[in-house]
Structure 1
Amino acid sequence: MPIVRETPYFILQELSEGVFAAVAKPGQGAWSNSGFVDLGAELVVFDTFNTPSAAEELRRQAESLTGKKAAYVVNSHYHGDHVFGNQAFGDAVIVSTRTTREWFEEKNIMGDPEEEQKETAAYLTGLQNQISAAEPGIRRESLINQHLEMEKLLADLPRLKMVKPALVFESRLTIHGAERRVELHCFSGHTASDAIMYVPDAGVLFAGDLVTENLHVPVTDPPAFRAALEALAKLEAETLVPGHGNVGTKELLPPMAGYLDLLIDSSRGAASSGKTVEEFISAFQVPAEYHVWRGINGMERNLKTAYEFFALQK
């Protein structure tokens, strides 16, 4: 995909006429991918990065590149790396699923600014200690990236405001513009509610964290996540924008599906056999292909979550 502009936070790629992906640069404050679509007279933006600074640059670039105003913003889910930039679009209509808005209100709470800064600084100290103790390799690289991203967030904390979605939907919403429409669909699996944005006429899918590239993305409901991937595969999308990683095609889906199949099969079997979660995780042999996937907790967190999910089904 051609690169049309590059900023300190992200790279802009034009995926189709009027459809752009903003691919985050590692460790620079964006953290997750974003994008925007020209609807004809206005723009719809998908996700707003991890910091107001990155989001403000996204809005500047989107509006200067297209000559259109950002009228809608879609939050794929409530995690901070996808919504902490909402304040840069305070005059736009921010859209999410009803559940995402509820979780946003419950989880994304700004307390006393000084306390928030102290807690974040303490977290960074903890990360630095882990980096110092870690062996060279993918986990150490993941810890370093986490530290860099959290440093950028710490710098923006004094002016960070929580701007929650104003328009909510349940399973599906279509936003019609003067020249094209986008479809929002609700799934779950990464969180309790994960929205995607599909641009039918361009064959482009903004998948949020339901699709990532070589990343141990958190899994909350393995079967629902797996079902979401099957549904995404049925959309007529030639181009996929993952929540993290490089823009690709539907070839991004099979590795995600294989990862979830492994989680489901191994954890379901362990839970039904009577093994404890500690026994299951200690005996589990992570396949070599996942040794290079990023994530500070590797596969262990998802193994634990999947085991506990199936243990509750007994």
Structure 2
Amino acid sequence: MEDNHYFTLEQVAEGVWAAIVVPGSGALGNAAILDLGDITIVVDTFMLPEAGSLLRQAAVNLTGREVEYVVNTHFHGDHHYGNQAFVGSTFVSTAGTRDFLNGLESLDYEKWQLAIREQIVALTHSKAIQTDERVRQALTYEISDKEHLYVSVPTIRRVLASMTFTDRFVIHGSKRTAEVMTWGGGHTMSDAFVYIPEDKVLVAGDLVLGKSHPAMLHGNSESWVAILDQIGNELEVNCVIPGHGPVTGSESITEMKNYIKDIEIYAKKAADSDQSIDFWLDQGDLEPYDSWLLSHVFEWNLRHLFKKYQVAKMV
């Protein structure tokens, strides 16, 4: 199989591959390829149509058949903008994810590109004044991802699920099973994940990341922790293919839960103090998360939660 600059493939079990994005390539969110024996499934499709095309070809090369099902774990574009490359596949998502995307306005490509360009300017400014080299590197990747998206915007077509579910959708293959499930919303208003019981593999979407700061702007922390508790209590997991970051083990479920709880406590402490948000950001990232990937996302999360708790104080 030819190499590409969007993702690398890592086999985590027989018939199960993680497609881990190359930072700054524009693909942004991880994906997975599942060979059930007689059925091929792809979970999430990257942010760029061209990366999605290479993912489809990789799935065909690995399994010897076309992709029958594409599962989108949630509504963020880095997990479904590549859908259009999978012509002929059946697209699956939660009913909530489809309803949300279906309710959006039609794509205005000029307006979209203008917004991306403004984001790039803001990110470039943030990088220029940043002294932490880890954060500077993370911002470099983020800017590069945005630049790739800017170029690809005119080619993107929104492809929604043709099949939805509200609880659990099971796909039985001749060798293994894919249990597509949702326990509500945590990272977003509706999150799905895929569990392969024969191999104890969890394809987590953005509910679980591999030592990476999770974006919390569209989520509900309490519900997110409850979902992670339920995963830990009800599923036996040996391997996690995360939405971002490297392949990891079941320990990442607890790590993600701890991160959410710890940053909520920290943000409330900050909001209850007499100090500004910039004072708290100057203290650096929380330990032990100060070595995690996507380090610039810590600032986004803390600003978001700080504002939430300040508003709550005024009610």
The answer as to 2:126 corresponding to 1:127 is no
Confirm whether residue 23 of structure 1 aligns to residue 20 of structure 2.
yes
Q: In the TM superposition, what are the counterparts of 1:130-279 in structure 2 within 5 Å? A: 130-187=126-183, 188-219=185-216, 220-234=219-233, 235-267=235-267, 275=272
Residue 160 of structure 1 and its aligned partner are, at CA, apart by 1.0
Q: Which residue of 2 aligns with 1:83?
A: 80
Do 2:138 and 2:296's aligned partners in 1 also have CA atoms closer than 8 Å?
A: no
2:59: which partner in 1?
Answer: 62
Q: In the comparison of the two structures, how many residue pairs are matched?
A: 307
Q: Which digits, 9 at most, give the CA deviation of each residue in 1:150-207, with x for residues without a partner?
A: 1211222221111111111112211223332211121321111111100111111100
* Partner Cα separation in structure 2 for residue 108 and residue 8 of structure 1: 32
CA distance 1:108–1:244, change in 2 (3 Å): farther
**Per-residue deviation, residues 230-253 of structure 1 (Å, max 9, x unmatched):** 122231121110111111111212
SS of 2:68's partner is strand
8 Å contact kept, 1:281–1:300: no
Deviation at 1:43?
0.7
- Structure 2 residue 39 is matched with structure 1 residue 42: yes
Unaligned stretches of 5+ in structure 2?
A: none
TM-score (norm 1): 0.87
Over residues 117-156 of structure 1, what are the superposed CA-to-partner deviations in whole Å (9 max), with x where a residue is unaligned? 3433343233333323322412211211111111211222
Deviation at 1:279, TM superposition (A): 5.3
The letter for the 1-side match of 2:125 is N
Aligned residues of 1:222 and 1:306 also touching (Cα < 8 A): no
- The Cα of 1:115 is off from its aligned counterpart by 3.7
User: 1:304, CA displacement in angstroms?
Assistant: 4.6
CA positional deviation for 1:310: 9.9
Q: Give the Å deviation of 1:65.
A: 1.7
* Cα distance, 1:214 vs structure 2: 2.7
Unaligned runs of 5+ in 1: none
Task: Give the distance between the partners of 1:278 and 1:191, measured in 2 at CA.
Answer: 30
Q: Secondary structure at the match of 2:79?
A: helix
For 2:94 and 2:122, how far apart are their aligned partners in 1? Answer: 34
- Equivalent-residue separation in structure 2 for 1:172 and 1:310 (angstroms): 38
- Cα separation, 2, equivalents of 1:101 and 1:278: 42
Decide whether aligned partners of structure 1 residues 67 and 283 sit closer, same or farther in structure 2, where only a CA change above 3 A counts. closer
Q: TM-score, normalised by structure 2?
A: 0.87
In structure 1, distance between residues paired with 2:299 and 2:56: 37
Q: Is the 8 A contact 1:6 1:12 kept in 2?
A: no
> How far 1:114 sits from its partner (Å)?
3.5
CA deviations 1:1-35 (Å, max 9, x no partner) are xxx87422111111111111111111112111101
* Higher mean displacement: 144-153 or 298-307: 298-307
- The CA RMSD measured in Å over matched residues stands at 2.7
Q: Which moved more, 1:67-76 or 1:147-156?
A: 147-156
Shift of 1:270: 7.0
